[in-house]
Amino acid sequence: MVTWQQVVDYLVNGYKSFSQDGGNTLIVQFETSWGRSQLVYILGSDDRAHVTLFSPVGQVDQINAEHLLTLTGDALFGILREGNVYMVGHVIPLATFDVGIFEHDMRTVAQQADQHEMALGLGDQM
């Protein structure tokens, strides 16, 4: 099974647009369509059996939640609310961790959040 520290090491060595909040959250910036960018937060710790990926869509007071949910359609990843922000989120178990799937899922979370942000007319805020 992959450890949280191995995930951290992979991100530190593999991404130049990487930062860490000093705790258990890592942040990677992805370039998306039309010169836009999107942040993906990777949350984990040594005592968790999974890694959580999330990417912000927009502030709760700027988004009609029902409309946001209709935009998700049959998307593989869910919508969550953290504080005053709606996000696209996904969980990856460490027991079955695969770097190819991890890469794909990080990029897909970023892409979906960015698409929702554009569809809601929010600009490139997050």
Blockwise average pLDDT, block size 10, the chain, 126 residues: 89 75 82 86 90 93 87 81 93 93 94 88 66
Q: What whole-number distance in Å separates Cα of residue 78 and Cα of residue 105?
A: 12
- What is the second-level CATH architecture of the domain 4-119? 2-Layer Sandwich (3.30)
Q: What is the pTM of this model?
A: 0.88
**116 in helix, strand or coil?**
helix
Closest CA to 89 of 103, 77, 81: 77
pLDDT (0 to 100) of residue 17: 61
pLDDT (0 to 100) of residue 124: 63
pLDDT (0 to 100) of residue 14: 85
* Residue at 74: amino acid letter: D
Q: Given the structure tokens 């460490």, which residue do they identify?
A: 94
pLDDT (0 to 100) of residue 87: 93
Angle at 74 between CA 37 and CA 89, to 5 degrees: 45
Closest CA to 77 of 109, 37, 29, 44: 109
pLDDT (0 to 100) of residue 15: 82
Closest CA to 109 of 57, 59, 58: 57
First to last CA, the chain: 33
pLDDT (0 to 100) of residue 19: 65
Q: Could you state, in order of their start, the residue ranges of all structural domains in the chain?
A: 4-119
